Structure formats: structure tokens, C-alpha cells
Amino acid sequence: MPNNNKPIYHYSDLEKHAKGTLSHEVFTYIQSGSGNEETLKDNEQAFKKWKIKPQFLNDVSERNLSISLLDETYKTPFLLAPVGHLGAAHPDGELAVARAAKEKQVPYIVSTVSTFSLEEIADELGDTPRWFQLYWSSDQELTASLVKRAEKAGYSAIVVTIDTPILGYREADLTNQYFPLRAGYGSANYFADPVFRSRLKESPEVNKASAIEELLKIVFHPKLSWKDLAFIRKHTKLPIILKGVLHPNDAIQAVDYGADGIIVSNHGGRQLDGVLSSLDALPNIVQEVSGKIPVLFDSGIRRGPDVIKAYALGADAVLLGRPYVYGLAINGQAGVEEVLEHFLNDVDVSLATAGKSRISELDSSLVVKV
Ligand SMILES: Cc1cc2nc3c(=O)[nH]c(=O)nc-3n(C[C@H](O)[C@H](O)[C@H](O)COP(=O)(O)O)c2cc1C
């Protein structure tokens, strides 16, 4: 990556170089959190409260980073989190991420608000595992159409983001008056959708601005409630995973309503500021769910030891967010590949130096809260 030809390892260097590449508005959109950014900061701070207690002389000469999830084995211990509007970060956007994911065999959770359509992204991924993240539209027929298209394009799970009934109060974006959907990034799945197109008086090719206005009206669904999950179940055989769980009661509800998994996440501190850090939420939720469905985790993972700590605290898988987006901004596909390569190496080294050989060996005996 362009760092005087030196590789970039440090997260703050990734951030710095991305800042140097992107416009102020786009960098801020990616980097910032909502409100006073307390939760954004807490997500990283929370990892510092937990320390690893390694145990040695265990023969760690052969290591395995694979994980088992929903009856599949994934080669890498992390998936790529759904991040929307990636065309704003790099012209190749999600296509570059897909090529890098394929190269490194990292599963990719593709956002609804992607700059390229879910079918175009699937074509790039080949047989790389992929899930589709759903922003449940207030237009139910459109929601069903998106889910069916994802199933047809080989996505193997639907991730329903539940923490975004409406967009969080993002002061930085409000200050910059920057909204990527309005700027034209993130409409590909809608513009390619027969149901959405049928709602328009003029096609997006003829009148893009009015199509975007229509999209802004239906993108989120504030009325969504637990009983609506049956609607998705009716339209797909794929596992349904709820993203954005922070309260143990919601985790219990997820089990009761038949979700196949949950993701403990606060959306990278981008929804309600002042919510607890994702890592602080994790142990209670793991305890309540008690193995009935997988518990995934994101928000604040920056390095290998963070991955180790999240697994030790009971996560069944973790998602990588901002780090790969910065790689994309800095150098497209190659930039994402470099970030993934470094992360894989970091997790591998962290595992061995914690005295373990497999991700599945990580449990709470490995960590202590200080
Ligand atoms: C720029 C940006 C856009 C995002 N877009 C989406 C999205 O479209 N759908 C979604 O469910 N989560 C979205 N997220 C949240 C991520 O999936 C993930 O929860 C978050 O990035 C984790 O925090 P971290 O990146 O600080 O580790 C977005 C995050 C960022 C930074």
C-alpha cells in the first residue's frame, strides 16, 4: 500500500492513510460514530479491560484458524461485516472487496445498500461463502424480492439488521451534510429490483434523483417488530441471523422467534450513542443463549488479540468492519487483501502465543477482567 512502499500494520496508520486518500466527507462518514462518539470509543476501550492469561508448553506447532458455523466450516476466523456505499470509498467498491474476499477465502456479508447489485457482487465471489445483510424495507413486497434474489444468487444466510429502525443521529454527517444514499451510492440493489422499479413513475435511468427520493422513503421500516420475522421465514429457507443485539432479553426473543443466529453489535457506534460497548454486552448474551444458536460479534475488532478475546468470551464468529474499508480506500482490492493477510497472520500469531492451536480451544479460562 502507498506508505512509502512500506506495508501498513498499525490500525491508526490505516486510518491515517485512508484519511489522506478520501474526501473529508467520505472519510468522516466511515470513521465517525453517532452523537458524542462515546460508544465508538468504548468499543475499542472495552477490549483493554480484558487480559489474556496464556498457558504454555502445549505444542502449538500446527494451528487451525477455521470455525464451524451453521453446519459449515469457514477457513478464516472472521467474516467481512456488511458495510454499505463502498463505491464512495473506492470506484470498484464491493467488487474489489469481493475479489479480495475470494483471494483470501474470507466470507463476505454484503450490505443491502451496496453500490453494485448483489448479483454482480456474487459473480465476483465465485464460490466464496457469502451472506446477505437485509435492511428490511417498509415495502414488504420489495423486502421479499431482495431476499429471494439473494437466495437465487447463492447467498447462504440472511442477516437482518435490527438496530436501524431509522438512521442514528450522526452529527459529523449532519455537519457535512453528507448522506451517501443521497449522493448516489447504495442504490444498486433497489434500481435492479423489479418490485422497486414497478413503484417508480420514471425509471432510475431517466430520473435518478426522483428514484433516490423514493428509495429514501422506503429504505428502513420503523414499524418492524418480532412477529414480522415470520414474513421472512415464509419467503426463504436460508438461516436468518439478527444483527444488532445488545440486550439479553432480545437474545432470548431471537431464540423464541426462531432466529438461527444473532450478531452482538452496536453498528460500530453508529446508531444510538451511549449504548454499551459490544464486548461488554457479549458475556451476558452468551450466557442467556447458552449454545442454542450461534452468537456472532462485531464492533471494535482492530487486531488479532481482539479476535482471541471475543472468542474467549463466547463468540462463535467475529466480523471485521472498518479495517478492511480503510484498506479498500487506500488501494482497492490489493488494499483489502493486505489488511486481510495481516489480520490472518496476527490471529495466527496471537493464537500460538496464547498457547492454543485452534480457535475452538478458546474459552473464558483464557481471559480475566482487570
Ligand atoms: C461506513 C460503514 C457503513 C456500514 N454499513 C452497514 C450496513 O449497510 N449494514 C449493516 O448492517 N451494518 C453496517 N455497518 C456496521 C458494520 O456492519 C459493523 O457492525 C461495524 O462496522 C462494526 O464496527 P467496527 O467497524 O468499528 O469494528 C456499517 C459500518 C460502517 C463503518
What is residue 86's DSSP assignment? G
In the prediction, which pLDDT does 2 show? 56
Residue nearest to atom 15 of ligand 1 (CA): 267
Probe ligand 1: pick from 27, 83, 297, max atoms within 8 Å of CB? 83
Tell me, what amino acid is at 10?
A: H
CA of 325 to the centre of ligand 1 (A): 10
The answer, yes or no, to whether residue 4 has pLDDT greater than 80, is no
Please give the grid coordinates belonging to residue 64. 487451525
Q: Angle, to 10 degrees, between the axis of helix 248-256 and the axis of helix 278-289? A: 40
Please give the grid coordinates belonging to residue 181. 444514499
In the prediction, which pLDDT does 5 show? 75
Strand, helix or coil for residue 80: strand
With respect to residue 4, please indicate whether it lies within any of the assigned structural domains: no
With respect to residue 261, please indicate whether it lies within any of the assigned structural domains: yes
CA of 53 to the centre of ligand 1 (A): 30
* Contact assessment for residue 263 and residue 242, using Cβ atoms and an 8 Å cutoff: yes
Average pLDDT for 35-57: 98
Instruction: Return the ligand 1 atom nearest residue 43 CA.
Output: 26
63-94 residue pLDDT tens: 999 999 999 999 999 999 999 999 999 999 99
With respect to residue 185, please indicate whether it lies within any of the assigned structural domains: yes
Q: List the CATH number of the domain containing 184.
A: 3.20.20.70
In the prediction, which pLDDT does 353 show? 98
Comparing CA positions, the residue from 36, 40, 14, 39 lying closest to residue 27 is 14
Strand, helix or coil for residue 334: helix
* Contact assessment for residue 49 and residue 369, using Cβ atoms and an 8 Å cutoff: yes
Please give the grid coordinates belonging to residue 105. 477465502
Instruction: Return the ligand 1 atom nearest residue 163 CA.
Output: 11
Average pLDDT for 50-64: 97
Count of residues in the chain = 370
- Total number of domains in the chain: 1
Active site residues: 267
128-177 residue pLDDT tens: 999 999 999 999 999 999 999 999 999 999 999 999 999 999 999 999 99
DSSP string, 171-230: HHHHHHT--TTTTT-S-HHHHT-HHHHHT-SS-TTT-HHHHHHHHHHHS--TT--GGGHH
Residue nearest to atom 26 of ligand 1 (CA): 268
Gap between the Cα atoms of 346 and 57, Å rounded: 20
Probe ligand 1: pick from 178, 264, 270, 297, max atoms within 8 Å of CB? 270
What is residue 15's DSSP assignment? H
* Contact assessment for residue 274 and residue 296, using Cβ atoms and an 8 Å cutoff: no
Average pLDDT for 8-15: 97
Residue nearest to atom 4 of ligand 1 (CA): 83
Using CB distances shorter than 6 Å, the residues near ligand 1 are: 30, 43, 81-84, 111, 113, 133, 161, 243, 265, 267-268, 270, 298-301, 321-322
Please give the grid coordinates belonging to residue 40. 465508538
Probe ligand 1: pick from 267, 279, 301, max atoms within 8 Å of CB? 267
The answer, yes or no, to whether residue 272 has pLDDT greater than 80, is yes
Q: What percent of the chain has pLDDT over 90?
A: 98
CA of 1 to the centre of ligand 1 (A): 23
Gap between the Cα atoms of 296 and 275, Å rounded: 18
* Contact assessment for residue 346 and residue 304, using Cβ atoms and an 8 Å cutoff: yes
In the prediction, which pLDDT does 1 show? 56
With respect to residue 202, please indicate whether it lies within any of the assigned structural domains: yes
Average pLDDT of the chain, as a whole number: 97
Tell me, what amino acid is at 226?
A: W
CA of 271 to the centre of ligand 1 (A): 10
Average pLDDT for 210-221: 97
> 354: how many CB neighbours lie within 10 A of its CB?
24
Residue nearest to atom 18 of ligand 1 (CA): 267
* 241 confidence band (pLDDT: 50, 70, 90): very high
With respect to residue 53, please indicate whether it lies within any of the assigned structural domains: yes
Gap between the Cα atoms of 112 and 118, Å rounded: 8
With respect to residue 348, please indicate whether it lies within any of the assigned structural domains: yes
CA of 84 to the centre of ligand 1 (A): 7
The answer, yes or no, to whether residue 3 has pLDDT greater than 80, is no
> 310: how many CB neighbours lie within 10 A of its CB?
30
Range of the structural domain that residue 335 is part of: 11-369
Tell me, rounded to whole angstroms, the distance of Cα 65 from its chain centroid: 19
Q: List, as residue ranges, the binding site for FMN.
A: 82-84, 111, 133, 161, 243, 265, 298-302, 321-322
Average pLDDT for 218-230: 97
With respect to residue 54, please indicate whether it lies within any of the assigned structural domains: yes
* Contact assessment for residue 188 and residue 116, using Cβ atoms and an 8 Å cutoff: yes
Strand, helix or coil for residue 297: strand
Tell me, what amino acid is at 282?
A: L
With respect to residue 259, please indicate whether it lies within any of the assigned structural domains: yes
* 309 confidence band (pLDDT: 50, 70, 90): very high
Average pLDDT for 203-229: 97
